[in-house]
Amino acid sequence: MIQIVKTSLASLAFFAFCSTATAQQKQLTDDQYFKGGALKGIIQPLPTATRWIDNSHVILLRNGKSFLLDAKTGLEKEATEADLKVEKVKVTARPFTKAKDLFIKIDDKEIQLTTDTLAEVNPTLSPDGNYVAYTKLNDLYTVNIATKKETRLTNDGSDVILNGYSSWVYMEEILGRATAHKAFWWSPDSKKIAYFRSDDTKVPVFTITDGTGQHGLVEQERYPKVGDPNPEVRVGIVSPDGGATTWSDFHANDDQYFGMPYWKPDGSALLVQWMNRLQDNLVIYEVNPATGAKKEFYKETQKTWIDLDDNDRISFLNSGKGFLLMSDATGWKHIYRYDMNGKLLNAVTSGKYTVTDVNYVDEQKGIVYFTARSRENTAHRDYYRVNIDGKKLQRLSFGDFNHGMINVSPDGSYFITAYNNVATPTKMSLVDNKGKIIKELGDSKGEDFGNYQLAKTELIRVKSDDGLYDLPMRVTWPLNMDPSKKYPVLISIYGGPNAGTVMDTWGISGNQQFYAKEGLIQVAMDHRASGHFGKEGVNYMYHNLGYWEMKDYSTMVKWLIANGSVDPKRVAITGFSYGGYMSSYALTYASDVFTYGMAGGSVIDWTLYDSHYTERFMGTPANNPEGYKTSSVLSYVDRYKGGLQIVHGVIDDNVHLQNSIQLISKLQDQKKDFEFMMYPGGRHGWGGNKGLHFQNLKTKFIYKNLLQKEVPAGLLR
């Protein structure tokens, strides 16, 4: 439920409502707060749609039992063994590694494929099921499953030459962590493998140390920071049976990036995404696998930057008559239709809203089904259909809800949606592709939901200072608020470009409810560049990280002080990674607004972070020296006057401990007080008892500085 509150009178009315509404209700017990029992009786599990077995029948799992739902009639019955039986394809094969050897499981039989002492990495089955490709000591290999013949496809792998295995910055920022450094791709006909060959020779080495053992741990990482040389990448194409690699017609020593390549569905060409170092010019080239010759297939330029890590940019149509491409060049991410030669046919969607996913394309009927941030409410996701020519747009999801989970039937005739908002626990429904609700499948609201005092959560919109944006803020208010009192506020943020966290969604936990009982206002907020307002809003961050985020955050905090009974002396902000940067920046640059902060794994100065991510938004120190200065936390340490808790993993290989060390040094030089905790063995996050220690550390900070009392027994873990 969205509420745009403009005056403190609205808040006063809300507080009065809370006092009367909760008078006859029970409070949660300590077990519910502290032992994971907060949901019992209040929230109940929804069914799980495990799989569609055909176009109109889906298996639902309810309370451990399986049921067959007929989407046409809405009738549901307990599933039989025949219903649950998964049809077998000709051969189901899965490669895997065990004790540094490669195996494949075919149906129920395990077959060992290699017997050496070297580890096979990222084993990937060919589309025809005849080969497995993998890397070993940074060289690319295949093994023929039938003959067990292993073929080494490259021969120059080393610590700095990586064949089919991506360099750190490519894995982290371009191909994605889910690839686990995999940088090779089978052609659809299994006749070719495309791969990246990365030369890290010129990439500077960053040394990471820890105190483990007598002589300590030392790791050396090829990590390009802003302005540093990047890996030199070549795009090769090779047969799985070996032979010479065909190199795509690019110059490896050019200052450039390559994104995830796409094979055309018939394997006739490889589409290679190329981008310049400044990241404002994207060209997709069509590469001939036999010769490596390239020709321009698609081109896009923007005044700011283009995201190269959009690995779902292209979706080929099954008919072979074209593809759909996602682009935010207009300032809003939309779907466009092209023919197979890269010629634009038409925009499929348009307007001031953001498409997030293409869910299904009915090519026979010419209909595209997609998910987008709602045109009416950016804190909602909705499901739509539109003709492939861009006409007859229709919203299929319903109500004033966020439809966060959409499960579409194989032919797009039906979908299952799980939906909620801040005031409504999640429900689930079966809907047809005209938007008609066929059947309500479940409601997570339990029988005892109305019997307990639960803190109220609202989605509030605050007008930005310049009047351009209604900034979203999700607030959980304390129980039984007294409008004559002032309350502390804890603001949890991330804050990065196009990485907002505020949605109009239901959520409850024992920790949240206990803090509400203790009198803590809990807030999440998003700025104009968080994704709510498309690329148009994100572009504000160009060459200027920190400024607009903090300006919008400060505007929302000032609103809370004026209208939400917030104590201006107890305003805390917390976050990790980019959120750690924001928290540190808030306690320095914006110290007149923020009085306390908890910063974990923080970027402190953008010259210390990696080339691709940072330069996308900031350019280089050579072409944007003032931007690097104004975005640095170190530039504003003299303004620091509150209380900051700094936390970092000792062997963080993403945001190096060096960041926090430089902030600590500057604070010490200026005789500023702060808290610091490091976690040995911790990378960009940590678990186990150190994770519990970290949670306790934050809890103690909250009680000492915000709630100003002792931590209750049972809250520490």
- Does 69 fall in a domain? yes
In degrees rounded to 5, what are phi and psi of residue 569? Answer: -90, -5
Q: Identify the DSSP state of 55.
A: S
Neighbours of 63 (CB within 10 A): 8
Judge whether 441 and 417 are in contact, CB under 8 Å.
no
Q: Strand pairing partners for 194?
A: 185, 237
Residues of the chain with pLDDT under 70: 1-23, 36-38, 86-91
Q: Strand pairing partners for 461?
A: 472
- Does 683 fall in a domain? no
In degrees rounded to 5, what are phi and psi of residue 9? Answer: -65, -35
Contacts made by residues 66-69, CB under 8 angstroms, sequence distance 24+: 69/430, 69/439, 69/441
DSSP letters, 162-208, are EESB--HHHIIIII-GGGTTB-EEE-TTSS-EEEEEEE-TTSPEEEE
- Does 305 fall in a domain? no
Judge whether 41 and 500 are in contact, CB under 8 Å.
no
Q: Identify the DSSP state of 46.
A: P
Question: What residue numbers bound the domain in which 74 lies?
Answer: 48-84
Task: Give pLDDT, residue 371.
Answer: 97
- Does 76 fall in a domain? yes
Task: Give pLDDT, residue 3.
Answer: 33
- Does 675 fall in a domain? no
What average pLDDT does the structure give for the chain? 93
Task: Give pLDDT, residue 87.
Answer: 54
How many domains would you assign to the chain? Answer: 1
- Does 167 fall in a domain? no
- Does 66 fall in a domain? yes
Q: How far is CA 440 from CA 259, 261, 418, 427, 542, in A?
A: 43, 42, 10, 8, 45
* H-helix or E-strand spanning residue 553: helix 547-563
Tally: H helices and E strands in the chain: 12, 44
Separation CA 588–CA 550 (nearest Å): 11
Tokens standing for residue 707: 């709630």
Contacts made by residues 700-709, CB under 8 angstroms, sequence distance 24+: 701/596, 701/598, 701/645, 701/675, 702/490, 702/515, 702/520, 702/572, 705/570, 705/572, 705/596, 705/643, 706/488, 706/489, 706/490, 706/520, 706/570, 706/572, 706/596, 707/488, 707/518, 707/519, 707/520, 708/570
One-letter amino acid identity for 583? S
Neighbours of 88 (CB within 10 A): 8
Task: Give pLDDT, residue 9.
Answer: 34
pLDDT tens-digit map of 608-642: 999 999 999 999 999 999 999 999 999 999 999 99
**Is beta strand 217-222 parallel, antiparallel or unpaired with respect to 246-247?**
unpaired
- Does 451 fall in a domain? no
Q: In 3D, which of 177, 29, 181, 55 has the Cα closest to residue 510?
A: 29
Separation CA 193–CA 126 (nearest Å): 9
pTM of the model: 0.92
Judge whether 591 and 471 are in contact, CB under 8 Å.
no
HSE of 648, CA atoms in CB hemisphere, 13 A = 27
